[in-house]
Chains A and B, each alone.
Chain A
Amino acid sequence: MSKLKQLYQQLIIDHSQKPRNFGRLETFSHHCEGHNPLCGDDINLFLLVDEENLIRDIKFEGQGCSISQASASMLSERVKGCSIDQALKLFRQFQGMILGELDPDKDTHDLGKTAVFGGVKEYPSRIKCAILAWHALKGALEKEVEEISTE
């Protein structure tokens, strides 16, 4: 598969055109806005975490390039039902993959379908697009910030 085809796999195109869990949560416990000034990507992430620290529900609103929106959509599917610790572990794995430190084909990971973004590491200018939603997730769960930027 060419580098470009790896980046624009149909799974990514599909999620960018039909994002899952798109919208706002009426009731939420955690929230973070993510901005990528380079592309002008915006992700507004809402999470409902229960007493057992499980992510019960997740939704996002946003606009931007296909990579940023598909990444948010697939993240939302992947982390729904996860514990906060599991979700933060996924963040570290995703970040490792994007930076080329984790090879999704060889190393063990729990990234599931989100491993499809492995090809983004070939495109330094697009890494910020792919990881934006994940930074918003981390920001929301650690409750440190209400707003992050990948600048």
Chain B
Amino acid sequence: MLLKEKAGLDVQAIRAQFPVLQKFLSDEMPLIYLDNAATTQKPQQVIDRIKRFYEEECATVRRGVYSLSEKATAQYEAARKKVADFLGAESREIVFSKGCTEAINLVAQSYGKSVLESGDTVLISAMEHHANLVPWQLICAEKGADLRVIPIDQDGELVKEEFYDLLELKPKILAITHISNVLGTVNPIKLLIDAAHRVGAKVLVDAAQSAPHQPLDLKDLNPDFLVISGHKLYGPTGIGVLYGRYEILAEMPPYQAGGDMIESVSFEKTTFTKPPHRFEAGTPPVAGALGLAEAIDFIKAIGLDKIQTYEAALLDYATTRLSQIPELQIHGQANEKASLISFTLDHIHPHDIGTILDQEVGVAIRAGHHCAQPLMKLLGVPATARASFAFYNTFAEIDKLAQGIEQVRTIFNHV
């Protein structure tokens, strides 16, 4: 039996629900979208949900006394509950943000700023996205704290011995990605969290790349903070989620100030509401939250277990196909890997690969430093090409990718 059948996914039926996937770049060239680690396409039901909000339900939340606003508020809070259930958390632990980046900045500027002191250590890894690196760099510089980096080995896995050595510095915060957006490495996140907790560190997990591809159960993983991105999860842009353990959120000062995060305001003193609303100043992205909740329904209906099995089969197939191409080097060979492949092709620059794949075979991939410049330096390349897969991708699309790479080699006289 084919793996795709074993996974029990009707990929054609799934594809039919994504309007963009019906698109043709030219008469005979359908769009082949392999940049899912950057953003995912949106199913019709998510698009419809957002449209319905603006057509029939649009009002601000937590302010109006009229029924339209009350309904919008109820739906917004229901979306929060849906996210909480999806992650195995409580509603009051779910803060809506505009994305992962903002959620991490929130933790760095609120929690980080209140606990870090001169000489403290914050631990990150060598495979962090700039979004989980620069906010820590800034707050460490401000507080005189040290930012230390867990190194990675040749395969793109964390060097565990070095991690344990660094824990002896008793870091106050470990901020680490669950899955690398460049290498696809799946970090042993539970092990890392438990070890960091044993030395008293609080742990932030960047789950931008993992939430769309595997089930997450926060009761089991037990992080202190975890961030996810809406648009990488088949939801809209402009919405993200910060999960924070309630006891910690309750002690944290506001990140941004404004409307809807206050209890009472006078010119002398303002008192703030409880979490999560304390961290949602201003009118929140209501349509975004509703769209994200709808995306979660969509994913749940398919089943993250099935998604994970099918995507693993895509990764296996793509790894085999791409490994057969002369001069192609795959960056990231971790034992446990998510469904993406970063590669370079001898001396051909990834941007040239990207342009040619787009024009010749209609394949959209990412080419560049993937917002991970320090990692590029470690790999010894200025940039990589990256194909990242979702459950709506097919084996035939991977064939097209391989065929396109061969055409790149032809244009550059490598055959």
| A interface with B by C-beta (< 8 Å) | 2-4, 7-8, 13, 17, 38-40, 63-67, 123, 125-126, 129
With a CB–CB cut-off of 8 A, which chain A residues contact B351? Answer: 39, 65, 67, 126, 129
A65 in contact with B368 given A4-B359, A8-B411, A13-B413 (CB within 8 Å): no
- Nearest A residue to B367 by beta-carbon distance? A39
Select which of A7, A63, A125 is within 8 A of B382 by beta carbon.
A63
Complex CA–CA separation, A132 to B357 (angstroms)? 23
Complex CA–CA separation, A47 to B350 (angstroms)? 29
Q: Are A66 and B349 in contact (CB under 8 A)?
A: yes
Q: Are A40 and B347 in contact (CB under 8 A)?
A: no
With a CB–CB cut-off of 8 A, which chain B residues contact A4? Answer: 355-356, 359-360
- Nearest B residue to A42 by beta-carbon distance? B382
Report if B352 contacts A (CB, 8 A): yes
Complex CA–CA separation, A17 to B412 (angstroms)? 9
Instruction: Kindly identify, within residues 356 to 380 of chain B, every residue whose CB is under 8 Å from any CB belonging to chain A.
Output: 356, 359-360, 368-369, 376
- Nearest B residue to A69 by beta-carbon distance? B349
With a CB–CB cut-off of 8 A, which chain B residues contact A39? Answer: 349, 351, 368, 383
Q: Are B368 and A66 in contact (CB under 8 A)?
A: no
Complex CA–CA separation, A13 to B355 (angstroms)? 14
Report if B3 contacts A (CB, 8 A): no
A17 in contact with B411 given A3-B359, A4-B359 (CB within 8 Å): no
With a CB–CB cut-off of 8 A, which chain B residues contact A8? Answer: 352, 356, 411-412
Q: Are B368 and A40 in contact (CB under 8 A)?
A: yes
Q: Are B359 and A65 in contact (CB under 8 A)?
A: no
Report if B348 contacts A (CB, 8 A): yes
With a CB–CB cut-off of 8 A, which chain B residues contact A40? Answer: 368-369, 376, 382-383
Binary contact track B180-198/A, C-beta < 8 Å → 1, others 0: 0000000000000000000
Select which of A13, A65, A126 is within 8 A of B411 by beta carbon.
A13
With a CB–CB cut-off of 8 A, which chain A residues contact B348? Answer: 66
Complex CA–CA separation, A64 to B356 (angstroms)? 16
Complex CA–CA separation, A7 to B368 (angstroms)? 19
The 18 listed contacts between A and B (C-beta, < 8 Å) are: A3-B359, A4-B355, A4-B359, A8-B411, A13-B411, A13-B412, A13-B413, A17-B347, A17-B413, A38-B368, A40-B369, A40-B376, A40-B382, A64-B382, A65-B350, A65-B351, A65-B352, A66-B349
With a CB–CB cut-off of 8 A, which chain A residues contact B411? Answer: 8, 13
Among A17, A38, A40, the one with the most B-chain Cβ atoms within 10 Å of its Cβ is: A40
A65 in contact with B349 given A4-B360, A40-B369, A40-B383 (CB within 8 Å): yes
Complex CA–CA separation, A4 to B376 (angstroms)? 28
Among A38, A39, A63, A67, the one with the most B-chain Cβ atoms within 10 Å of its Cβ is: A39
Q: Are A64 and B349 in contact (CB under 8 A)?
A: yes
Complex CA–CA separation, A7 to B348 (angstroms)? 15
Complex CA–CA separation, A63 to B344 (angstroms)? 15
Q: Are A7 and B355 in contact (CB under 8 A)?
A: yes
A66 in contact with B359 given A8-B411, A40-B382, A40-B383 (CB within 8 Å): no
With a CB–CB cut-off of 8 A, which chain B residues contact A7? Answer: 355
Q: Are B355 and A123 in contact (CB under 8 A)?
A: yes
Binary contact track B16-34/A, C-beta < 8 Å → 1, others 0: 0000000000000000000
Besides the known contacts A8-B356, A40-B368, A40-B369, 8 further A-B residue pairs in the complex with CB atoms under 8 A apart? A4-B356, A4-B359, A8-B411, A39-B368, A64-B349, A65-B349, A66-B349, A67-B352
Complex CA–CA separation, A7 to B376 (angstroms)? 27
Instruction: Kindly identify, within residues 322 to 366 of chain B, every residue whose CB is under 8 Å from any CB belonging to chain A.
Output: 347-352, 355-356, 359-360
- Nearest B residue to A4 by beta-carbon distance? B359
With a CB–CB cut-off of 8 A, which chain A residues contact B355? Answer: 4, 7, 123, 125-126
